Chains A and B, each alone.
Chain A
Amino acid sequence: MSGYVARKGPLVFSNLGKWAYNWSGFNQYGLHRDDCLYENQDVKEAVRRLPRKLYDERNYRIMRALHLSMTKTVLPKEQWTKYEEDVKYLEPYLKEVIKEREEREEWNKDH
């Protein structure tokens, strides 16, 4: 859907951000930032709403990462996710889920 275009790369580019991104290491498993989010209720709902293709890609990346972790290896360097190319595919969906939850909480406060 047109309203759910994912942001690519960081919100504000900085060398410090790039260093922190590479230091955190999940990119060496080929993961994106949104693959590593802790799956609370909001994230679970957002993942449920993902279009089929994005959902499958996410699962593939996670399974590959689990496999790499099990064999105690990482991907070859050219396959690491780059700081500039990290796609925040879940963000638009997650934002909407959070907004809906806040709306519900706000309503329950007043009524």
Chain B
Amino acid sequence: MACNANKAPFLRTIAKRGLASQCPRPLGQAAEVKSTVLNNKLVVATAEASLPVSRVSIIFRAGSRNESYENQGAAHLLRIAAGLSTKNSTSFAIARNIQQVGGTLSASNDRELVTYTVETTSNQIETGLRFLQDLAQPAFKPWELTDSVPLLRNQVAGVPPQVRAVELLHRAAFRTGLGNSIYIPKHQIGKLSSESLLHYAAGTLIPSRCAVVGVGIDHNTLSGFAQNLELSSGSGKSDSASYYGGDARKDTAGVISHVAVAGQGGSLVNQKEALAFAVLKHAVGAGAATKRGNINGSFGKALQGAVTDASVSLTTLNAAYADTGLFGFLVSTDVQHIGKAVEALTRALKSGSVSSNDVNRGKALLKAALLESYSTDSSLINEIGVQAVQTKQVQSIDALLAAVDGVTQQDVQEAAKKAGSSKLSVGAVGNLANVPYASDLA
């Protein structure tokens, strides 16, 4: 416990006071990031020691891809459990103490990660951290799980159809693991026992799958906090995902269809490929830059060519996971036009050609997006959190921008070819009368 001294509150106050004389960085300027890996493989990363608001996240690779068939929905319940009692404190104590210091405590989950974040003014971060560390030890009291069933039903019922299309796309593409939905399946609500959830938590909430990141907090303080974090020392399984492709469809009433189509994309581990796919996303048209504006790039143009007289919305999908990814599009329009729209966009996806103009525009857009995410504190903590827990290191914004500049047109074309030539996956929700199957799109 080398850093135990940091636990003493008066030492932290001194560290804070010393740094408070520094001038805070000008608005919009990217922050510098420090990261270390502790002996127990836990990653700590911080940016900007002195800010009026401190944010700290504990991130675990405990997302829905780690669920088995039997405990599907466990990751969703981990998120829900952030509001319930933990092994050391009751939900009442957590809520009231955080409220009393004007802080917020939030939890989010996706396919890879479960994130707990606390935000308080920096003189009150002590209290925030005390209850944040409790969240890493959920108790899953059976009666609290039963009480949260209506909340779960409400959340599952509120999932928008576009998101359901993307969930189905993952189911079609990866079947198990990454194919698991972020949301608990309806048939699992109220069925997951306290024991199976504790087992899931013991296998995933462990130091080697964890990162602690902070914005507006001193690096040594946070390292000391991370060092003393009480986590179970189990070893969770992590199996690599394999890409299959195919269809997953859900017919519902109405005249609108939401269709997500994708081929295999790049993984986060291979940074060059991941960046090439990120550039490609912006090059083919990530979305309209102005309200009700046109979407540039080959996807946007293909859609405008195919559907001229109907309202239609298009989003380019680029999902990069630890070992694989998905690249494609999500399109929504009425049942008369969806067939033409999907076919035209699939042709654009499979063509695999990207002009140098498009690549340059893609790079510029990607760089702007990166700068933007590094220059506000709330998005910066997400950004460095994901990097810390997935790659065990955090890159400075300059290094990232240089890497984006290093992406060539060749790289982007290879990425486009990879996505276009792989077997396609189709996830569709809505009126599916005219939605083609994956085998028809080949």
Q: Which residues of A contact B (CB under 8 A)?
A: 1, 48-49, 51, 100, 103-104, 107, 111
Contacts and interface: CB of A to CB of B under 8 A. Distances in A.
B100 A104 contact: no
B142 A107 contact: no
Interface string B332-343: 000000000000
Nearest to B91: A100
A12 B60 CA distance: 47
20 contacts: A1-B141, A1-B142, A1-B194, A1-B195, A48-B143, A49-B141, A49-B142, A49-B143, A51-B142, A100-B90, A100-B92, A103-B90, A103-B92, A103-B93, A104-B92, A107-B92, A107-B93, A107-B96, A111-B96, A111-B100
Contacts, number: 20
A72 B152 CA distance: 49
Interface string B71-113: 0000000000000000000101100100010000000000000
Interface of B is mostly: helix
Q: Which 9 A-B pairs have the closest CB atoms?
A: A49-B143, A100-B90, A107-B96, A104-B92, A1-B194, A103-B92, A103-B93, A103-B90, A48-B143
A107 B194 CA distance: 29
A49 B143 CA distance: 6
B409 to A, nearest CB: 59
B286 to A, nearest CB: 48
A100 B194 CA distance: 20
Contacts of B96: 107, 111
Contacts of A49: 141-143
A72 B141 CA distance: 41
Given A48-B143, A49-B143, A107-B93, 13 more contacts: A1-B142, A1-B194, A1-B195, A49-B141, A49-B142, A100-B92, A103-B90, A103-B92, A103-B93, A104-B92, A107-B96, A111-B96, A111-B100
Contacts of B142: 1, 49, 51
A19 B195 CA distance: 41
A103 B95 CA distance: 13
A109 B120 CA distance: 24
B148 to A, nearest CB: 14
